[in-house]
């Protein structure tokens, strides 16, 4: 009986176990998710900027440290923390901090997962201050003269690492007068002996920048210069000329410049011509010269607007005199003249002006035109210094108006001229200048157009050969009569047409009849 009672539950249990899928309880590698971590740092406050594994920083620079956990930070883990040089430092996944102590530091992010496995990722930081370079205690000092060109030259400077940790190295460059690089090298020592020969009476410059082992650059750079000695006490001149305006993108013109060295007796002992100078700064050099007192004159040859400049110098034996910059300045503004050479002009469809600058011809961009306060640009042309200003659209006026023309040359000299445009008030219309052929009859006319409503009283025609003008009573606002060729005795006859109103106001206009002593042909 007892056996029966026990048999069935055991059998049932065995069947239950047999029906159960025990594989579900076995470890399957494909079902597992690997965990990985990655630590990174960023020097910017914004963590979206470039991240990396290494960095060189100043003490107290704020650094953002970030840890990424795959698949996510929410996985089951025992602990995670950061270490600095092996010492526990922080527990956040991401945090900001600084490392004030100079030197090399290792920062590690460590994660211990739920199974006790330890994962870690490390970052390297080099902390330091940039090297300090003394720009004053240098050999040779700036502008040193009389360095023997054949005996080599020694350079020395002082620099140190403020942290006393890192070795320093130096970027040294030696340049010739024309900025050609003679030597460009990296040095471990704060001195250099350059033993190759240099040119006599030349200017050289040298530069030194200090770096520490972690790539930090000194805040200051040494900028030295020296001049080499002349042979047999011969001296030399170097200098530069600055021209106003030239070198800008606005002009493609080139200037020819003469540099004349005049001795104490007034004799020009050297004349150099620099052709086609297109830069605003031109260098020149003159050697060898005997020691003594000189004047050096720079002059623009092809631009009369530019004033010459002079330097008075004293050349010491075997030395190079570096002349302060000579300036060729254009001090004259552009000139603006109307074609009739008058400042008061009658309104016309187009007015013409001569706009001229001896320094350089102007472009339309350099010219501003204003009529009655409004800028005029449409239809304006400039050809061979002749400026055409169309005023066809300008309405007529009964008062004087001002046309202003402004021209700016390359040296920013401004020439400005105002012209008065006479009122265009029309009291009446009459004949204008005309030619009269031998076989022609000319009809003289006057048509009253006064804008004030005055009533005409008389019309006048005065051919200057007469003492008295012909007068006609005004029945209407229009009057005309015809004359033949013989009415005009001269080849050029000035005629005055006039009108007198009943209120006594009289207005005149003058015009010219050119008498042509031939008959007009049909096709003329």
Nearest to 276 by CA among 245, 238, 246: 246
Only one residue has tokens 């009291």, namely: 427
Q: How far is CA 315 from CA 261, 322, 481, in A?
A: 12, 10, 90
Which 3 state secondary structure label does DSSP give 22?
helix
C-beta of 187 vs 297, nearer to another protein? 187
C-beta of 139 vs 364, nearer to another protein? 139
Smallest gap from residue 272 Cβ to another protein (A): 24
Smallest gap from residue 211 Cβ to another protein (A): 18
Nearest to 271 by CA among 283, 260, 257: 260
Residue from 57, 125, 127, 147 binding another protein (CB under 8 A): 147
Smallest gap from residue 146 Cβ to another protein (A): 5
E strand residue ranges, 202-248: 203-212, 222-228, 235-243
Q: Tell me: does residue 143 bind another protein (CB under 8 A).
A: yes
Q: In the structure encoding, which two tokens stand for residue 355, read together?
A: 């706009």
Cα separation, 146 vs 65, whole angstroms? 57
In sequence order, the β-bridge partners of residue 472 are 459
Point out which span in 63-71, 154-162, 347-355, 431-439 binds another protein (CB under 8 A). 154-162
Binding to another protein (CB under 8 A) within 106-135 occurs at none
Only one residue has tokens 């229009």, namely: 478
Residue from 189, 232, 467, 524 binding another protein (CB under 8 A): 189
Residue from 98, 139, 196, 505 binding another protein (CB under 8 A): 139
C-beta of 172 vs 428, nearer to another protein? 172
Smallest gap from residue 325 Cβ to another protein (A): 19
C-beta of 292 vs 390, nearer to another protein? 292
Point out which span in 142-150, 196-204, 272-280, 388-396 binds another protein (CB under 8 A). 142-150
C-beta of 127 vs 133, nearer to another protein? 133
Smallest gap from residue 141 Cβ to another protein (A): 4
> DSSP letters along 168-199, please?
EEEEEEEE-TT--EEEEEEESSSEEEE-S---
What length is written for the chain?
524
**Neighbouring C-alpha atoms within 13 Å toward the C-beta of 508:** 11
Smallest gap from residue 317 Cβ to another protein (A): 7
Residue from 41, 107, 168, 190 binding another protein (CB under 8 A): 190
- Burial of 83-108, coded b for 16+ CB within 10 Å and e otherwise, reads bbeeeebbeebbeeeebeebeeeebb
Q: How far is CA 80 from CA 68, 70, 89, 113, 218, in A?
A: 12, 14, 11, 8, 39
Residue from 129, 144, 205, 251 binding another protein (CB under 8 A): 144
Which residues, at least 6 apart from 69, have a Cβ–Cβ distance to it below 8 Å? 35, 36, 37, 75, 80, 93, 111
Residue from 64, 153, 262, 336 binding another protein (CB under 8 A): 153
In sequence order, the β-bridge partners of residue 268 are 262
**Binding map of another protein across residues 275-304, x = CB under 8 A, - = no contact:** ----------------xxx-----------
Q: How far is CA 204 from CA 182, 190, 240, in A?
A: 9, 19, 15
Continuous H helices in 319-381: none
Smallest gap from residue 281 Cβ to another protein (A): 23
C-beta of 189 vs 467, nearer to another protein? 189
Neighbour count for residue 340 (Cβ, 10 Å)? 11
Phi, psi of 52 (to 5 degrees): -155, -175
Q: In the structure encoding, which two tokens stand for residue 372, read together?
A: 């009655």
C-beta of 234 vs 360, nearer to another protein? 234
Point out which span in 143-151, 303-311, 368-376, 379-387 binds another protein (CB under 8 A). 143-151
C-beta of 300 vs 313, nearer to another protein? 313
Binding to another protein (CB under 8 A) within 309-328 occurs at 314, 316-317, 319
Q: Tell me: does residue 145 bind another protein (CB under 8 A).
A: yes
Residue from 62, 106, 122, 154 binding another protein (CB under 8 A): 154
C-beta of 316 vs 417, nearer to another protein? 316
Structural contact between residues 202 and 225, judged by C-beta atoms closer than 8 angstroms: no
Query: How many chain residues interact with another protein (CB under 8 A)?
Result: 27
Binding to another protein (CB under 8 A) within 192-251 occurs at 193, 226, 233
Q: Tell me: does residue 342 bind another protein (CB under 8 A).
A: no
Q: Enter the DSSP assignment of 384.
A: T
Q: In the structure encoding, which two tokens stand for residue 58, read together?
A: 């100043």
C-beta of 316 vs 509, nearer to another protein? 316
Q: Tell me: does residue 146 bind another protein (CB under 8 A).
A: yes
Binding to another protein (CB under 8 A) within 38-97 occurs at none
Smallest gap from residue 207 Cβ to another protein (A): 18
Which 3 state secondary structure label does DSSP give 514?
strand
Cα separation, 405 vs 377, whole angstroms? 11
Q: Tell me: does residue 186 bind another protein (CB under 8 A).
A: no
Residue from 14, 141, 271, 399 binding another protein (CB under 8 A): 141
Smallest gap from residue 158 Cβ to another protein (A): 6
Q: Tell me: does residue 177 bind another protein (CB under 8 A).
A: no
Neighbour count for residue 221 (Cβ, 10 Å)? 13
Starting at the earlier edge strand, list the strands of the sheet with 94-97. 36-42, 63-70, 94-97
**Residues in touch with another protein (CB under 8 A):** 137, 139-141, 143-148, 153-154, 156, 158, 189-191, 193, 226, 233, 291-293, 314, 316-317, 319
């Amino acid at each position: 009986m007892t056996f029966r009672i026990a048999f069935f539950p055991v059998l049932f249990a065995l069947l239950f176990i047999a029906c159960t899928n025990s594989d579900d309880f076995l470890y399957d590698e494909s079902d597992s998710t690997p965990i990985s971590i990655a630590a990174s740092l960023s020097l910017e406050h914004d963590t979206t900027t470039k991240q990396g594994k290494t960095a060189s920083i100043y003490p107290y620079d704020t650094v953002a440290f970030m840890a990424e956990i795959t698949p996510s930070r929410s996985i089951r883990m025992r602990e995670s923390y950061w270490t600095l040089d092996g010492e526990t430092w922080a527990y956040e996944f991401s945090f900001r901090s600084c490392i004030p102590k100079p030197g090399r530091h290792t920062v590690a992010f460590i994660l211990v997962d739920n199974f006790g496995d330890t994962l870690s990722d490390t970052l390297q930081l080099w902390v330091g201050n940039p090297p300090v370079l003394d720009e004053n205690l240098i050999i040779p000092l700036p502008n040193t003269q009389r360095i023997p060109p054949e005996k080599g030259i020694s350079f020395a400077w002082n620099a140190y690492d403020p942290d006393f940790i890192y070795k320093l190295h130096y970027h040294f460059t030696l340049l010739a007068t024309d900025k050609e690089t003679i030597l460009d090298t990296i040095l471990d020592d704060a001195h250099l002996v350059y033993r190759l020969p240099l040119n006599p009476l030349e200017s050289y410059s040298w530069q030194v920048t200090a770096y520490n082992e972690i790539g930090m650059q000194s805040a200051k750079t040494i900028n030295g210069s020296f001049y080499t000695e002349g042979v047999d006490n011969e001296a030399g001149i170097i200098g530069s000329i600055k021209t106003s305006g030239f070198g800008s993108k606005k002009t493609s013109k080139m200037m020819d410049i003469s540099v004349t060295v005049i001795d104490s007796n007034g004799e020009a002992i050297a004349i150099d011509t620099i052709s086609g100078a297109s830069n605003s700064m031109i260098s020149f050099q003159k050697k060898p010269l005997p020691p003594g007192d000189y004047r050096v004159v720079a002059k623009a040859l092809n631009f009369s607007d530019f004033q010459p400049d002079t330097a008075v110098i004293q050349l010491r034996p075997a030395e190079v005199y570096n002349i302060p910059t000579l300036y060729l300045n254009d001090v004259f503004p552009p000139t603006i003249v109307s074609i009739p050479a008058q400042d008061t002009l009658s309104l016309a469809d187009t007015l013409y002006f001569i706009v001229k600058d001896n320094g350089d011809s102007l472009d339309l961009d350099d010219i501003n035109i204003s009529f009655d306060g409004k800028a005029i640009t449409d239809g304006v042309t400039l050809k061979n210094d002749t400026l055409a200003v169309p005023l066809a659209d300008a309405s007529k006026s009964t008062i004087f108006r001002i046309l202003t023309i402004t021209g700016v040359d390359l040296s920013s000299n401004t020439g400005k001229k105002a012209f008065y445009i006479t009122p265009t008030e029309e009291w009446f219309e009459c004949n204008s200048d005309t030619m009269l052929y031998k076989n022609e009859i000319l009809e003289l006319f006057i048509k009253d157009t006064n804008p004030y409503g005055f009533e005409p009283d008389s019309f006048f025609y005065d051919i200057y050969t007469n003492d008295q003008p012909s007068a006609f009573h005004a029945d209407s606002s229009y009057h005309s009569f015809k004359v033949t060729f013989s009415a005009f005795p001269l080849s050029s006859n000035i005629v005055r047409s006039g009108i007198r109103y009943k209120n006594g106001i009289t207005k005149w206009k003058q015009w010219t009849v050119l008498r042509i002593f031939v008959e007009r042909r049909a096709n003329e």
